[in-house]
Amino acid sequence: MKLYKLSSQLLQTKSHKYSRPIIRLSIIGVALGLVIIILALFITQGYKKEIREKVVSMGSHIRISNYDHNLSFAPVPFNRNQPFIQRLKENPHVDKIQYYSTRVGILKAKDLVEGIVFKGVDTSFSWSLFEPNLIAGERENFGAEKRSNALYISKRIAHKLKVEVGDKVTAFFVQDPPRQRNLKVAGIFETFLPDFDDKMALVDLRLLQRLNNWDSSQIGGIEILIDDYEKIDQLGTEINLDVGYELKAETIKQIYPNIFEWLNLFNTNVIVLLVITLFVSIVTMISTFFIIVLEQTRTIGILKTLGMETRALFKLFVLMGTRLILKGMFFGNLIALSLAWVQSHFKIFTLDPETYYLSYIPIDLNFYTLLYANLGVYAICLGALLLPALYVSHKITPISAIRFD
């Protein structure tokens, strides 16, 4: 307790005009460093989470399809009543199972045409994930007794075809003989992801089954939603082994490698930013520590003359450094959490969606991220001060300190 009071008095004394602004600068440095670290982690995790959710909202975490499925979006059908379905339903990590199929076609509105990939869905489709992307229109009941002619297209395609919700378009399917269907635009979505906005549209699965001359039990694929993204690789491998040799299970990371490889680049950028920020904070703290020691040398010498042991002097230096670090961390947390809360609720800071696939800077307010950031900054900054404190506490002698001017 005495050392704690003494450390407070040494930091608050007004007789040392040089160290006081340096101390303030040190506190500001730690605070700003922690602000940058917390926001960088919140933004990076938020960004990766938002992009993953966008990809999942247009599909799933894991997709099962026929092994002969090629890149033409013309899947080889298989029966939806597979023996592994019950095992999937019993898996505690599987949240939902969806059935779908795809088919390439052309949309025509007046004299405008656009190539499209139709994705047929049914009652199993997760509208709760898709609806955040819906900017116009309402949910369609694809499970009604009568086959629906509803069509959901992206904002980009709607702009190219110059159509709005409620307009009718003609869908052409290349086959022998060629077929066409009149569809009604029931909704317009926007994900900002080219893989979906440039070519995908949602329709009733029964429409594609009829066009392909399939019966109601034949599908193009199965989509699986899981409860924990961190288990996606493990579950993907397990399900792939379970579906048999005629089918294959792929994760969204395997289906859209370009998106997830791009997201992984954020980890490298954040690591570089964190290292630079921590380095600046550490240099600031060490510089402040030595300036305080220089101005307090005579006081330290007097304390040693009065019988203070080297170990106690070392503890005194550590307490002084800890006080500065904790004070800076307090203000850093206050600023970072305030900015993060404001951005998460009001989305003040925006992005170019054409470049970043999001119209705003996302924030993931995660308690564990905040905790680990604080523990890491505290441990690294304090650890950087231990060696200088140990060195100074042993090198200062009573005679040299009292003579110091």
pLDDT (tens digit per residue) in 56-83? 999 899 999 998 755 556 788 999 999 9
Q: Give the Cα separation of 224 and 60 in Å (integer).
A: 6
d(CA 300, CA 302): 5
How do strand 168-173 and strand 179-189 relate by DSSP bridges?
A: antiparallel
DSSP 246: S
pTM comes to 0.86
Q: Token digits for 142?
A: 């694809």
Q: What is the pLDDT of residue 177?
A: 78
pLDDT at 52 over 80: yes
Residue, of 26 and 295, whose pLDDT is higher:
26
CA 102 to each of CA 105, 148, 276, 351, 372: distance values in angstroms, whole numbers, following the listed order: 10, 16, 48, 32, 44
pLDDT band at 15 (very low <50, low <70, confident <90, very high): very low
Give me the chain's average pLDDT, please. 87
pLDDT of 71 reads 55
More confident residue, 312 or 172: 172
H-helix or E-strand spanning residue 200 = strand 200-204
Do 33 and 278 form a contact (C-beta atoms < 8 A)? yes
* pLDDT reported for residue 321: 79
| Helix 19-57 with 367-395: angle, nearest 10 deg | 150
Contact (Cβ atoms closer than 8 angstroms) between residue 338 and residue 365: no
pLDDT digit string, tens, across residues 334-363: 999 999 999 999 999 999 998 889 999 999
- Mean of pLDDT values over 82-105: 95
DSSP state of 247: E
**Strand ranges inside 8-111, DSSP E:** 62-66, 78-79, 94-109
Does 292 have pLDDT greater than 80?
Answer: no
- Average pLDDT of span 176-205: 93
DSSP structure string for 325-359: HHHHHHHHHHHHHHHHHHHHHH--SB--HHHHS-S
The three-state DSSP-derived secondary structure of 126-191 is CHHHHHHHEEEECCCCCCCCCCCCEEEEEHHHHHHHCCCCCCEEEEEECCCCCEEEEEEEEEEECC
Q: What gap in Å lies between CA 282 and CA 384, rounded to an integer?
A: 7
Choose between 16 and 248: higher pLDDT. 248
Q: Is the pLDDT of residue 187 over 90?
A: yes
Residue predicted with more confidence, 82 or 9: 82
Residues 218-268 pLDDT 10s: 999 999 999 999 999 999 999 999 998 889 999 999 999 999 998 888 888
CB atoms within 10 A of CB 180: 12
Of the candidate ranges 78-87, 225-234, 284-293, 380-389, the one whose mean pLDDT is the lowest? 284-293
pLDDT for 13: 54
Residue with tokens 């899981």: 226
Average of per-residue pLDDT across 82-99: 95
Look up residue 96 and give its two tokens.
């939902």
pLDDT at residue 22, as a whole number: 75
